Amino acid sequence: MHKPQSIYALNLPDLEAAPPQRSEAESPAQAYLNSLSPAGRRTQHTALNNLAYIFSDGKISEALDFPWEVLRYEHTNGLAAYMVDIGYAKSTVNKHLVALRRVLAEAYQLGLYTDHNDYYRAANVKSLRTAPLPRGRTLKLEELRRLTHTCLQDAHNPTLGVRDAAIITVLYAAALRRQEIVDLNLADVDLKESKLRILGKGSKRRQVYLQPDAVAALEAWLGLRGRRIGPLFTRVTKSGKVLLRRLTPQAIYYLLKKRQQEAGLDDFTPHDVRRTAITDLLSAQVDVLTVSAIAGHASADTTRRYDRRSEESKKAAALKLASPFSPEEAKSADASLNSASEADESDQVQ
């Protein structure tokens, strides 16, 4: 791993005085990772590895091998400024600070801090204030319809087309994450009540309701899939045979990319479909707390960050301004320049 350069000096702990490497059961990093979902575990393990590398001055790159209990306030206090200085975005720094606070809390719970004040001071690192530009984009209803239409016109593999149309429809109708839609089982579907039971982040469960067209899309897929117990959305072979094998989040990304290209649409991500659903619910005057519950957000503030209505308002406002620039005058100017250039060339030839 390349060690980035920084003009900011970070106080580092004395690892030579650290206790010997602990077993996995005593590792605060392992205790923290055990509390996360598989997707969160991968992300936060990477963050902890980065922190271990930074605090060890490049000597330790595996979080499970780092003695987290040696960290004190003088070490953690300068971390955020150091990470910004070596090129980390503020939002990324804040994710690392969350991981740091959580792993130090596990070290404290395991009794690895002999003085509780050392823990409280070390963990008392404040997140950076950020005001990031909105990421991604929202899709228009016509784009979503073109996607499902493209799927249902799949003459090479009609079964795959019906499945993909149902996935796109449910992703939007329930404002789901990729992981959430692949985690759905047949037992999570109640078509009579038009609802789904979702396993969200942090193993939190919620119920969402579907509008009639989304229910119809599911019924069409289940008519081909059958009612065998197992994952709701399964793999389909090139010949159209349904296999009772669960899709992966990456498979959702690839199928959306494929259908986007077939439909001739601009690029978008699976999360943009979720972002679109949240924005459309807010545009329909659904209160933010209800939208937050549908999306599975822990806070309504998180839901507000998905709201792209303000971007559309700014676009509309820009169109209301008069312009000092005249395209017709620009064309005339270009024509004059071209005439002058041709005259110069003619003079040179003569």
pLDDT reading at 91 higher than 90: no
Q: What is the dihedral of CA 35, 41, 43, 48, to 10 degrees?
A: 70
Q: Which of 49, 39, 26 is nearest to 252 (CA)?
A: 39
pLDDT at 349 over 50: no
d(CA 318, CA 180): 38
Identify the CATH homologous superfamily for domain 141-311. Answer: Intergrase catalytic core (1.10.443.10)
**Residues in Cβ contact with 149 at an 8 Å cutoff, skipping those fewer than 6 apart:** 263
Span 298-319, average pLDDT: 71
Separation between Cα atoms, residue 98 and residue 47, nearest integer Å: 9
Give mean pLDDT, residues 182-201. 94
The per-residue pLDDT for 143 is 96
Q: What is the mean pLDDT of residues 62-75?
A: 93
Banded pLDDT at 277 (limits 50, 70, 90)? very high
Strand partners, 208: 196
Would the pLDDT of 269 be above 70? yes
Average pLDDT of every residue of the chain: 86
In this predicted structure, what is the pLDDT of residue 313? 64
Q: Is 95 exposed, middle or buried (0-12, 13-18, 19+ CB in 10 A)?
A: middle
Task: Choose among 144, 145, 169, 157: nearest CA to 232.
Answer: 169
- At 38, the pLDDT band (50, 70, 90 cuts) reads confident
Contact 195, 218 (CB under 8 A): no
311, pLDDT greater than 80: no
Rounded to whole angstroms, the Cα distance separating 289 from 221 reads 32
Q: Which of 90-94, 235-239, 331-335 is the least confident region?
A: 331-335
Q: Where are the beta strands (DSSP E) in 133-272?
A: 189-190, 195-199, 205-209, 234-236, 242-246
| Residue 114, number of CB atoms within 10 A of its CB | 8
Active site residues: 177, 201, 271, 274, 297, 306
Domain boundary assignment for the chain: 15-123, 141-311
Average pLDDT for 178-201: 94
- The pLDDT of residue 8 is 60
**According to the model, what pLDDT value does residue 111 have?**
92
Report which of residues 335 and 160 the model is more confident about: 160
Average pLDDT over residues 158-165: 96
CB 217, CB 209: distance < 8 Å: no
**Count of residues in the chain:** 350
The better pLDDT of the pair 248, 304 is held by 248
Percent residues over pLDDT 90 in the chain? 61
Residue with more model confidence, 333 or 301:
301
Spacing of C-alpha 311 from chain mean position:
20
Residue carrying the six token digits 């936060």: 44
Tally of CB atoms within 10 A around 204? 11
- The pLDDT assigned to 272 comes to 93
Q: Residue 350's pLDDT is what?
A: 45
Residue 321 is predicted with a pLDDT of: 66
pLDDT category of residue 132 using cuts at 50, 70 and 90 = low
Using pLDDT thresholds of 50, 70 and 90, give the confidence band for residue 32: very high
Q: What are phi and psi of 265, to 5 degrees?
A: -100, 160
Instruction: Tell me which of 67-76, 81-90, 166-175, 293-302 is least confident.
Output: 293-302
Tell me, what's the pLDDT at 258?
96
